[in-house]
């Protein structure tokens, strides 16, 4: 299948305190957009949509200045910092009724923009989702590389279907986004959610570079947070494991009870303080851990039932066209 209409592309780019890097990368994004337009791959009214995630520096002023210079630049501003995932979601939801395809990408120049040609090509060839997958991690530090790889492996073990080495650089068509909008959860883990939506998908491979300027907002603590959120939002496997272990523990204690009762009647019971203390500590520790895991899920349920908005947009640049529903696909 190939498409008849030249698609309108929106690049969705989350930015949080990125005044150092935006002046550099905005030129690169614009260059790419213009090249794709000149090649006839995407429509002239395509946009670069920056999502300012409540930055405290001059990021929003930069975005508005860009949009006045060149109407291909547009921006929305979140009312406060809500984190990367919510920023991307805000951008995608704003874009979905204004375009045919979105490409979400970080604003720091780490993801190779040249992979976009292949992504658009794959879309034109009939795919609805194209995952950007990095094919090496040479530019990451040893520590980042090992923790990140451990992260994907652990996620998959825990029952979260996610594409290995894919972060949030991906092409998603507005057709997919219309269905995705029905996923109402407030605990977001986008890279694990898109595979659940389905539709025809593929991957393109690229080399991940170092940040062009500024510094990372994802230290180890936030990475662990993202992993825990991802797992508890998308999988109940940890609770199943607890149930399994609980079952095993009950079985062992049953054997223990029979053993102690038999020993009692045989008159072989002796003072066994050390062994008893060990068992109490061990079981107590396990129970605390398991309660914690279950508590994590209860916390998630609490947040979900409140159903608060997942993003709040406080401002939009004038270069963002009004919403018009796409013509139904012919």
Residues in touch with ligand UDP (CB under 6 A): 14-16, 18, 53, 81, 83-84, 87, 106-108, 110, 216-218
136 binds, among Mg ion, ligand UDP, none (CB under 5 to 8 A by kind): none
Closest to Mg ion by CB, 53 or 106? 106
DSSP conformational letter for 176 = H
Which residues are bridge partners to 77 per DSSP? Answer: 52, 315
Q: How far is the CB of 264 from ligand UDP (least distance, A)?
A: 60
Residue with tokens 């520590």: 143
The angle formed by the CA atoms of residues 295, 297 and 300, to the nearest 5 degrees, is 115
Bridge partners (DSSP) listed for residue 316: 76
Q: Which is nearer to ligand UDP, 225 or 285 (CB)?
A: 225
Residue with tokens 């496997």: 237
Whose Cβ is closer to ligand UDP: residue 77's or residue 96's? 77
| Minimum CB distance to Mg ion smaller for 52 or for 108 | 108
* Cα–Cα distance for residue pair 189/176, rounded to 1 Å: 16
Q: What does 238 bind: Mg ion, ligand UDP, none (CB cut-off 5 to 8 Å by kind)?
A: none
Number of residues this chain uses to bind Mg ion (CB under 5 A):
3
Alpha carbon distance 102, 47 (integer Å): 10
For 232, residues 6+ apart whose C-beta sits below 8 A from its C-beta are 187, 238, 296, 297, 300
Query: In the window 104-133, what residues touch Mg ion (CB under 5 A)?
Result: 106, 108, 110
What are all long-range contacts of 279-284, with beta carbons under 8 Å and residues at least 24 apart? 283/249
**Residue closest to ligand UDP when measured from CB atoms:** 216
Shortest Å distance, C-beta 95 to ligand UDP: 15
Closest approach, Cβ 85 to ligand UDP, in A, equals 8
Q: Segment contacting Mg ion (CB under 5 A): 81-89, 101-109, 184-192, 239-247?
A: 101-109
Give the Cβ contact number of residue 108 at 10 Å.
23
- Smaller CB separation from ligand UDP, 16 or 60: 16
């Amino acid at each position: 299948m190939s498409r008849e209409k030249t698609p309108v592309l929106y690049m969705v780019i989350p930015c949080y305190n990125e005044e150092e890097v935006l002046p550099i990368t905005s030129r690169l994004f614009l260059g790419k957009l213009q090249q794709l337009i000149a090649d006839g791959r995407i429509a002239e009214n395509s946009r670069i949509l920056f999502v300012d995630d409540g930055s405290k520096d001059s990021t929003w002023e930069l975005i508005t200045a860009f949009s006045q210079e060149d109407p291909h630049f547009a921006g929305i501003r979140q009312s406060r910092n809500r984190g990367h995932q919510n920023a991307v979601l805000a951008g995608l939801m704003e874009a979905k009724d204004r375009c045919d395809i979105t490409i979400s990408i970080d604003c720091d120049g780490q993801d190779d923009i040249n992979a976009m040609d292949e992504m658009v090509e794959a879309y034109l060839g009939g795919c609805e989702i194209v995952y950007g997958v990095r094919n090496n991690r040479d530019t990451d530090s040893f520590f980042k590389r090992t923790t990140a790889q451990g992260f994907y492996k652990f996620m998959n073990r825990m029952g979260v279907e996610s594409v290995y080495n894919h972060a949030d650089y991906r092409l998603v068509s507005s057709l997919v986004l219309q269905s995705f909008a029905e996923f109402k959860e407030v605990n977001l883990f986008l890279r694990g959610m898109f595979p659940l939506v389905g539709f025809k998908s593929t991957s393109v491979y690229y080399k991940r570079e170092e940040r062009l300027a500024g510094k990372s907002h994802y230290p180890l603590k936030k990475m662990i947070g993202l992993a825990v959120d991802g797992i508890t939002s998308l999988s109940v496997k940890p609770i199943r494991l607890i149930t399994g272990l609980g079952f095993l523990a009950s079985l062992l204690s049953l054997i223990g009870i029979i053993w102690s009762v038999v020993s009692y009647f045989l008159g072989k019971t002796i003072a066994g303080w050390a062994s008893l203390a060990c068992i109490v500590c061990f079981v107590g520790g396990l129970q605390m851990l398991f309660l914690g895991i279950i508590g994590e899920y209860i916390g998630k349920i609490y947040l979900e039932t409140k159903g608060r908005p997942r993003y709040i947009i406080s401002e939009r640049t004038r270069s963002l066209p009004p919403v018009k529903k796409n013509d139904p696909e012919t």
